[in-house]
Amino acid sequence: MEQLKSRPQAPSRPAQRPEQGANGQRPAPLPEKALAVGEKARHWAREARLYCKAAAEWSRIHLRRWTHLFHGAAAGTLAVGPVSFLMVAGALGTALTLTTLYSTSYAVIVDGQEVGVVADQSVVDHAIQTVESRGSQLLGYSYQVDSDIDYNFALTLKSDLSEERVIRDYFYGQLNELSDQLRAYELSVDGRVIGTVKDEAALNGVLDQIKGQFVTASTTSAEFVEHLTVERVYAVDDLMDPTEMDAALRANTTGETTYTVVKGDTYNGIAYANDMSLSDLLALNPEADVNRLMVGDMLNVKEVVPTLSVRTTEQVTYSQPIECPVETVEDSSMYKGDSKIITQGEEGEAQVEADVVYINGYERDRVVTKTTTLREPTTTVKAVGTKEKPKTASKGYFTWPTSSRRINSHFGGRYLFGSYSYHSGLDIHATYGEGIKAADGGTVTKAGWHYSYGNLVVIKHDNGTETYYAHNSSLLVSVGDKVYQGQVIAKAGSTGNSTGVHCHFEVRVRGSAVNPLNYLR
Ligand SMILES: [Zn+2]
């Protein structure tokens, strides 16, 4: 039965190998018919004893708890006697617990030494097949595991069963000098296997280099952000060389990170398209000139996040200006809301020490550890007005001169009476005789007939800007009058060169007409 087996037998224990296959194959899982009758009986007796032992153990733990539970319910009515109930429940519970927690299993005894516990002997067969196949690959000839393998029946907590890897590694260990060649180092980043390399020193070299690229003279600490684990494994296939490992660890995980500028792009537009603020975009592109964007420029629009990130801390010292404190003094000769600097203070200077935390070279955090004042700032003295503003003072913005906001004709080029002309204001819809109101406070500088404007009012505002109100039917103010914002200054009409009743409203900044719509609110 065993003579075909090529490996030498252990002469001292021939009877212990009844499971040996007939054709030299790996032992089949304990065929019951191969057991002698007596041995089979012993086997089952042993199994039964184990079950009883486990049941007794289970009862010891659980019955006490149940007794306690029923004690609490004793005041109520129990349909059955508590003792018989406990016995039935206990038996059912034991059976349930045994089948859910425990598994029938086999302790794997290799050359007299227990190497693990398996539920199924095929786990061992498979482990040996793997080791023999890998071993043969390495050696270049058919390698076979040479060991005596026995199985002892046991009852084991399912969680205590050995993984195939444990069994496999035991047999790999038998390869002796071969095992050194098979040994490799598998690197995982946050639990994800990146790859396996042959040479541990080379792996460490790769890691050191990745970390080292962010280390400067002021770096006080450098560490990987992710959790790294290096596990010794037996492997012959899919080994990475250090260059491949380096590339895998530096590989970007965020997809495309750059954008090439095309015609019509703006910094704001690119920031918006990439869902970031302008300052985020500029932070990613420290070399970029915010006033100059050229077609073909390449901008970073996303951070490069490599598989393995490095967190460095640098201790930096720099000087920083200290703002001037501002002291205000009241000035009754100035209007409320106006102010002027009387004495301009001088900024101070501080020396700041800080710990700056970078991830892959990008600043993430800055903790100021010490601030030393090198020069105190001097105080800025500011005068603020307290005098009430007159009602006629300009507020600095224009309100609509009409009750309607309907525009009959816009500012700019237009066709009128069949020829092109430049329109210097807005024609705003008005009804005959309605009040035309001053757009802001100021002084009337013109009130009378003025060529094609008809009856015209011009108001000069405090900053020199002028507003024109034309084609009125009558005027209610005179030159030199102070008027307030919203004061009725004329009545609407269609005098002068007019296409109908409306208010021609004009805004002139330093003498030039501008689009009033940019000023009205
Ligand atoms: Zn007009």
* DSSP for 441-453, written as a single string: -EEEEEEEE-GGG
pLDDT band at residue 407 using 50, 70 and 90 as cut-offs: very high
The kind and range of the H/E element at 156 are: strand 149-157
CB environment 79-101: b (16+ within 10 A), e (fewer) = eeeeeeebeeebeebbeeebeee
pLDDT for residue 14? 36
Contact 491, 476 (CB under 8 A): yes
The kind and range of the H/E element at 260 are: strand 258-260
Q: One-letter amino acid identity for 389?
A: K
Contact 56, 155 (CB under 8 A): no
Question: Between these two residues, 134 and 54, which has the higher pLDDT value?
Answer: 134
Query: CATH top-level class for 310-387?
Result: mainly beta
pLDDT for residue 303? 76
Mean pLDDT lowest among 48-62, 157-171, 480-494: 48-62
Mean pLDDT of the residues in the chain:
83
Contact 2, 20 (CB under 8 A): yes
CA of 391 to the centre of ligand 1 (A): 29
- CATH code at 407-518: 2.70.70.10
CA of 470 to the centre of ligand 1 (A): 8
2-57 confidence digits (pLDDT tens): 333 333 333 333 333 333 333 434 444 444 444 445 555 555 566 556 565 555 55
CA of 411 to the centre of ligand 1 (A): 8
CA of 410 to the centre of ligand 1 (A): 8
Mean pLDDT lowest among 130-144, 145-159, 320-334, 341-355: 130-144
- Round to whole Å and give the CA distance between 127 and 146: 14
213-270 confidence digits (pLDDT tens): 999 999 999 999 999 999 888 776 778 999 999 999 998 887 778 899 998 888 888 9
pLDDT for residue 42? 59
**CA-based max dimension of the chain:** 135
CA of 423 to the centre of ligand 1 (A): 6
Question: Between these two residues, 301 and 83, which has the higher pLDDT value?
Answer: 301
Share of the chain above pLDDT 90, in %: 47
pLDDT for residue 279? 85
pLDDT for residue 71? 47
Average pLDDT of the segment spanning 116-136 = 88
Judging by DSSP bridges, how do beta strands 419-423 and 412-416 pair with one another? antiparallel
CA of 429 to the centre of ligand 1 (A): 11
CA of 434 to the centre of ligand 1 (A): 17
Mean pLDDT lowest among 192-201, 284-293, 491-500: 284-293
CA of 379 to the centre of ligand 1 (A): 53
CA of 513 to the centre of ligand 1 (A): 12
CA of 427 to the centre of ligand 1 (A): 5
User: And the tokens for 237?
Assistant: 């296939």
430-465 confidence digits (pLDDT tens): 999 999 999 999 999 999 999 999 999 999 999 999
Q: CA torsion sign, 331 to 337 to 343 to 346?
A: positive
CA of 49 to the centre of ligand 1 (A): 112
Domain ranges for the chain, please list them. 105-182, 185-251, 253-306, 310-387, 407-518
CA of 506 to the centre of ligand 1 (A): 8
Mean pLDDT lowest among 239-253, 269-283, 404-418: 404-418
Contact 245, 197 (CB under 8 A): yes
- Round to whole Å and give the CA distance between 472 and 432: 9
Average pLDDT of the segment spanning 104-124 = 89
pLDDT band at residue 184 using 50, 70 and 90 as cut-offs: confident
- Round to whole Å and give the CA distance between 12 and 16: 9
pLDDT for residue 485? 96
Q: Where are the alpha helices (DSSP H) in 74-174?
A: 82-101, 122-139, 164-173
CA of 392 to the centre of ligand 1 (A): 26
Contact 188, 231 (CB under 8 A): yes
CA of 461 to the centre of ligand 1 (A): 21
- CATH code at 253-306: 3.10.350.10
CA of 443 to the centre of ligand 1 (A): 22
CA of 38 to the centre of ligand 1 (A): 122
pLDDT for residue 58? 52
- Round to whole Å and give the CA distance between 105 and 118: 6
User: And the tokens for 442?
Assistant: 């100021």
Q: CA torsion sign, 268 to 274 to 280 to 282?
A: negative
Question: Between these two residues, 507 and 62, which has the higher pLDDT value?
Answer: 507
pLDDT for residue 164? 86
CA of 503 to the centre of ligand 1 (A): 7
Interior angle at CA 141, CA 138 and CA 146, nearest 5: 90
**Residue reference for tokens 């819809």:** 429
**Structure letter (DSSP) for residue 8:** P
User: And the tokens for 483?
Assistant: 């008027």
Contact 298, 314 (CB under 8 A): no
Average pLDDT of the segment spanning 202-214 = 94
- Round to whole Å and give the CA distance between 283 and 363: 10
CA of 504 to the centre of ligand 1 (A): 4
CA of 453 to the centre of ligand 1 (A): 8
CA of 433 to the centre of ligand 1 (A): 17
- Round to whole Å and give the CA distance between 378 and 11: 101
This prediction's pTM: 0.46
pLDDT for residue 69? 46
Q: Is 383 left (phi over 0), alpha (psi -120 to 50) or beta?
A: beta
User: And the tokens for 346?
Assistant: 């001088």
User: And the tokens for 247?
Assistant: 């590339």
Contact 120, 161 (CB under 8 A): no
Average pLDDT of the segment spanning 148-171 = 86
Q: Examine the pLDDT at 201 and tell me if it is beyond 90.
A: yes
Question: Between these two residues, 397 and 69, which has the higher pLDDT value?
Answer: 397
- Round to whole Å and give the CA distance between 471 and 494: 5
CA of 408 to the centre of ligand 1 (A): 9
CA of 259 to the centre of ligand 1 (A): 49
**Residue reference for tokens 């590694």:** 169
329-375 confidence digits (pLDDT tens): 999 999 888 899 999 999 999 999 999 999 988 888 999 999 999 99
Q: For the chain, how many residues are written?
A: 521
pLDDT band at residue 170 using 50, 70 and 90 as cut-offs: confident
